[in-house]
Structure 1
């Protein structure tokens, strides 16, 4: 059997399933990622399938580039569909998740990596940093709806904006882990802070904002005949993504941050224009197709490349603590004092989905630093991603439906008014105005 024909046939099936499955699964406690992983696991477990799928640790550069592409496309789509204008106060849930929940998650996972898995400081920090961000690709089911759809409650907004920014903001910790594999003296740490924290974040935000505003002007504010929006084509979104990411990376900034910020800036130039929806829809379609192919390969790596073969009982315990304790607890702590109902804060804390971004960080770091026990790291991360896909995929539909029902019930409930004092009727005597019984 010709391998090319098999791959071509499989690709056609994946494309058709990408379009069809979301409609079929919409009301079921299943998601597209679950089906993709299952499909890949079954397909590559068949001995007659020609060729073998490599372990991701054996093809680091390919894994890095493929995951990088799908992440940046997801970031553009996430930025374009946020209706809420940027504001320090109105985005306060985002800052809490980024400034409190993510550092707490990294610290807790690094400690667990040291004590449970016996990893060195650099490897424990790498694993923690790779697993800390909420994935912008797999979190699409808990994100806000398309531009202008009105599907932007506090839970969906918080998870969308967090996923849009924390992938880039986890990068300094990944670079710190790489630094720790060498001579991590005071000079090296000072250089890391100056370059990996201050410079690269500032460049990412700056280039993203300038590029987004410039592209917004070209798209919506040029003379009518020259406006980019007149083309009506959605693949402009792909050009924007690659251009902004490339410019930022050439300037040594965080391209992930730049792409998301550029999408926000582009949306702000003319938020209500219908072409915004066209750009978003194309980005979402392309993201879904690439995600499905990568998750089929992920499922194939589990059965065909023994991705989970290095698991130990401590690694399994680490995975379950990461999913069921560390992220939910860190998220809940970060939202203390945040004026929202407890069920909303619980959902924000629970849906810290791990996925494609974690694979990217591991592939990137392992090409740039010497980390011990790479197979154990890959197996542990693979198990966490698998459990996250299954757990969050099964619970997302009923959880979001519950959230919508509760929100509608609160909106329809009559306002609570102060209780009025009982007034005596005309045929009843007035109460004694005194403070005690009469003489």
Structure 2
């Protein structure tokens, strides 16, 4: 007699748990976001904790990698790379056309000197609260949290609160700086790693043959040559300049620009000749992100910076983003939401609760990590931005906007990827001298808990912070003028304005579906002035609507 076959394996359980959460969250998602003022990250993380090994034990992450002891770290690293790569391409193409060229000075100031100041301040806080790690170890951990999460930054770059209380130049720069910051953490990380790995082993290190208890307890036994290369500062700086600057940064940014440029040209060609359909057109950023993550992972360059630069190059002429808006694309936003659900639930399930209290090894305790989170919130960005905002008058007009920009710098998935990448550069925990062993033991739990703390404060404190910013800035929505109202009606299809190179149809006529499809809707907040002038008839430089992929229209 045949019986039903029960197959309760990890794959089936994971699918059931994730889909159940997505369904339950989706039914009340509007209430969660607009009534309780929570985002997607914190509820998903709490669901991962509830379904993970700490509670219900449905998500048994330790069994996913089989017998591999480092399988959990490999899954975490690869999943973080996947999520951050796709999201950085999305952030890149959503910026205005040629934005990096127009804001090159401000981006350079923010990504180099100001990020370096924040890196040193964060490292000082880490060294203060984790007493048993060295200064170089604190620099390594500090470089992991130097990056800013671009997706969480979108919470204040878009939406009704941003439209009402934050100026457009500041919102755009926060998005751009968050995207570039994820890639510019590698030079700081590799500099600290090179200084530590090329330093000599501690004097109090002995091999098993030379061990003598009468001389005292050494830092490590039998590992005097594991984890250290020697050569001093000169050799470390030479290695950092070649690998950290040239190979990681220059090659990564150049590779991303090349991939984005080729993708844009091929999209122009395919769109003009009508070779590409709507689905594949919207899928292009995901494909570019996956391609760059895979290829950069093969030859070991900076994939995060490459993805961000590729997104900018893909929309360098402003056509791609405008065309996605014209086609009412919702695929990329939906995929981004699903990725956020997955990574946050996974982090909740893989949380190493037993490593948050290690007073005998690294000196880490729960209260020290909590205080460390508050210190990083205060000193990681705000002092540096307040010092340098005067050099960026086009972005930050006064100290209040600088304070706002410094406060909203959330730590996200990039910190997890950096922490797991740094672990790969050192021997396994317990296989080197005490300085490196303390670093490898401290870097994983500290990074994840600080990550969770910043996720929570960004989600929970978003609404009151926006209200506070509104009262500080005294910024109110500007009324919509008649010209802007006419433009909004044109964008929504009420009237059809003349596209570049076309004849003027009767104003006031409702656009046909074909006319609506064949024109681009410009990015426009309903409470702000339009980005493109409505007048200037006869002027070659005054366009009414942005150019799109048309067979009879030249692309820039």
Shorter-chain TM-score range: 0.7 to 0.9
Distance 1:53 1:84 in 2: 43
Distance 2:468 2:190 in 1: 40
The residue number in structure 1 matching 2:168 is 153
The residue number in structure 2 matching 1:291 is 340
8 Å CA contact 1:129–1:173 kept in 2: the answer is yes
Distance 2:191 2:329 in 1: 34
* Matched position secondary structure for 2:96: coil
Distance 1:57 1:141 in 2: 34
8 Å CA contact 1:57–1:378 kept in 2: the answer is no
Q: 1:378 and 1:333, CA in 2 relative to 1: closer, same or farther beyond 3 A?
A: same
CA deviation profile, 1:304-340 (whole Å, cap 9, x unmatched): 7535344424444333211123322222223235431
The Cα shift of 1:232 comes to 4.8
Structure 1 runs not aligned, ≥5 long: 413-439
Match of 2:459 among 377, 383, 393: 393
The residue number in structure 2 matching 1:236 is 284
2:409 equivalent to 1:361: no
Q: 1:191 and 1:279, CA in 2 relative to 1: closer, same or farther beyond 3 A?
A: farther
The Cα shift of 1:100 comes to 2.6
CA deviation profile, 1:254-309 (whole Å, cap 9, x unmatched): 1111111111111123426654346974333223212212211222334x753534
> Which has the larger share of helix?
1
2:338 equivalent to 1:330: no
Match of 2:350 among 296, 301, 316: 301
The Cα shift of 1:205 comes to 1.9
Match of 1:65 among 56, 65, 78: 78
2:216 equivalent to 1:216: no
Distance 2:141 2:445 in 1: 11
The residue number in structure 2 matching 1:282 is 331
- CA-based RMSD: 3.3
8 Å CA contact 2:44–2:345 kept in 1: the answer is yes
Q: 1:57 and 1:115, CA in 2 relative to 1: closer, same or farther beyond 3 A?
A: farther
CA deviation profile, 1:326-360 (whole Å, cap 9, x unmatched): 32222222323543143322111001101211111
Size of the alignment, in residue pairs?
Answer: 409
Distance 2:369 2:252 in 1: 35
8 Å CA contact 2:187–2:244 kept in 1: the answer is yes
Structure 2 runs not aligned, ≥5 long: 1-5, 64-68, 200-231, 359-363, 428-435, 480-556
Q: 1:231 and 1:376, CA in 2 relative to 1: closer, same or farther beyond 3 A?
A: closer
* Matched position secondary structure for 1:234: helix
The Cα shift of 1:213 comes to 1.5
Q: 1:350 and 1:23, CA in 2 relative to 1: closer, same or farther beyond 3 A?
A: same
TM-score computed with the length of structure 2 as normaliser: 0.66
Written as runs of structure 1 = structure 2, the 5 A alignment for 1:14-413 is 14-16=21-23, 19-20=26-27, 22-27=29-34, 28-44=36-52, 47-50=55-58, 52-54=60-62, 59-83=72-96, 85-88=98-101, 90=103, 92-117=105-130, 118-144=132-158, 153-184=168-199, 185=232, 186-222=234-270, 224-225=272-273, 227-228=275-276, 232-250=280-298, 252-271=300-319, 274-277=322-325, 281-302=330-351, 305-306=353-354, 308-310=356-358, 311-312=364-365, 313-339=367-393, 340-370=397-427, 371-373=436-438, 374-400=440-466, 409=476, 411=478
Distance 2:324 2:106 in 1: 25
Q: 1:121 and 1:280, CA in 2 relative to 1: closer, same or farther beyond 3 A?
A: farther
CA deviation profile, 1:138-181 (whole Å, cap 9, x unmatched): 33312347xxx999713322221111111111012222333234
Q: 1:60 and 1:30, CA in 2 relative to 1: closer, same or farther beyond 3 A?
A: same
8 Å CA contact 2:410–2:455 kept in 1: the answer is yes
8 Å CA contact 1:132–1:170 kept in 2: the answer is yes
TM-score computed with the length of structure 1 as normaliser: 0.81
8 Å CA contact 1:72–1:241 kept in 2: the answer is yes
Distance 1:279 1:398 in 2: 31
The Cα shift of 1:121 comes to 3.7
